Homo-oligomer: A and B are copies of this chain.
């Protein structure tokens, strides 16, 4: 086997044109270095390898290298061969990022993220290692758009056990987070002729954007202390609900509302999308089971690893009625063929070996402690603030006393390095049905920053 360009240790592309070969090679290398295509310290192929590959004399390459060394473009040292010299080249500077998240405040009590510093890195890596070691080669290829069978089996077991979901592995589609799952559902609904999807009046704007982008009309369901007022579903084709812990108001959907929604779905052929984003986290009483169990053929159960583990995993799952399976599989195939299989295998093993249950339990304890500390601090320092939505999840609703506005408090907090979010950011309709409030995500800060974050929150509220 000859040592050719094709086998040299580094991939390098040069435009070598013109008749004066040595000058052409020199120019090509200069240009590659000047434009940053060849970075400082990059090792070049040996003159022998490069010459053979370009089908020119070895001497020509050696002379070109020598010239560029003389000019300071390259360095040649015994033992380490010829390398690109360190020069002050214009760095490929990274411009300001496109998202605001990257400008991180010192303290953060915005909702939507678990404590990322608590991600169980060692246990995750151990599961990933075991999973990859045991996986068949085909697991690395194109496969079932529903996702790896290992993960769907592990999820079916877990969801039945922990959330009371009625599920078998063949009804699960693994997707890249809830956002993708919602988009795929909208696509399937549109393809089946749906035109109207109801959302809760207070909800995530990014979810409403996905719904709008798929050409579905939206109507809003007001939310009271019993959750979404599903009596308003009327002629809607589908409804997106957060039954276990309304986001952002924090109430649970009452039993009779659940029945009412199921009755609506069965009567009209409508579909309920159950967004169980933080169903693992409840503190004071037995969990509210998944609503899906009431009517598995009319309710899509959706879950995610974004709150229980980390959003960066981009792993979510849909448990689907039979009639939607084919459409969802087609939509997923067209979206990205399948979700990444290595992360799926790792999560399957992470669940199977019990690490997921352990992590959820640890996190639940930690978040409950945080919630209790938050409550205690607020009751002492800001007793006029009314706190609700705290039986579950990673966030609480803080209703502000008369005379205090969201914007004022958010600005005062920002001055102290604390990021907060107001309820108004979640309002879907023009009417203002509720007084000013904050949606406080007590899961977000790392443990060491929680005390400081709560102190600053109390300072701006007292």
Q: Which residues of A contact B (CB under 8 A)?
A: 1, 5-16, 32, 35-39, 42, 53-54, 92-95, 97-99, 101-102, 104, 112-113, 116-117, 119, 121, 124-125, 128-129, 132-133, 137-146, 149, 152-153, 156-158, 160-164, 166, 168-170, 175-177, 179-180, 183, 206, 209-210, 213, 280, 282-284, 286-287, 289-290, 310-315, 325-326, 329, 333-343, 357-358, 360-361, 364-365, 368-369, 446
Contact = CB atoms under 8 A, between A and B. Distances in A.
B143 A99 contact: yes
Contact of A13 (B133, B164, B179, B334): B164
A101 B336 CA distance: 16
A334 B204 CA distance: 13
A49 B368 CA distance: 17
A137 B446 contact: yes
A-B pairs, top 7 by smallest CB distance, nearest first, are A11-B162, A312-B341, A37-B160, A13-B164, A140-B310, A92-B168, A180-B336
Contacts of A169: 92, 94
A344 B420 CA distance: 30
A94 B149 contact: yes
Given A314-B336, A340-B343, 11 more contacts: A6-B365, A7-B361, A35-B160, A42-B161, A93-B170, A102-B143, A112-B142, A137-B446, A139-B312, A142-B311, A180-B335
B92 A153 contact: yes
Quickly give the copy total for this chain: 2
A286 B21 CA distance: 15
14 contacts: A8-B361, A10-B357, A11-B158, A12-B162, A13-B163, A36-B168, A37-B160, A54-B286, A97-B144, A98-B145, A99-B143, A99-B144, A312-B340, A312-B342
Contacts of A282: 6
Contacts of A334: 179, 183, 206, 209-210, 213
A16 B286 contact: yes
A312 B16 CA distance: 36
A158 B36 CA distance: 11
A179 to B, nearest CB: 5
Contact of A98 (B10, B93, B329): B329
B312 A140 contact: yes
Given A143-B312, A166-B35, A176 B339 contact: yes
A369 B2 CA distance: 12
A44 to B, nearest CB: 11
A336 B176 contact: yes
A329 B129 CA distance: 33
Contacts of A287: 11, 13
Given A94-B153, A113-B142, A337 B12 contact: no
Nearest to A98: B329
Contacts of A119: 137, 140
A153 B93 CA distance: 10
Contact of A361 (B9, B152, B158, B312): B9
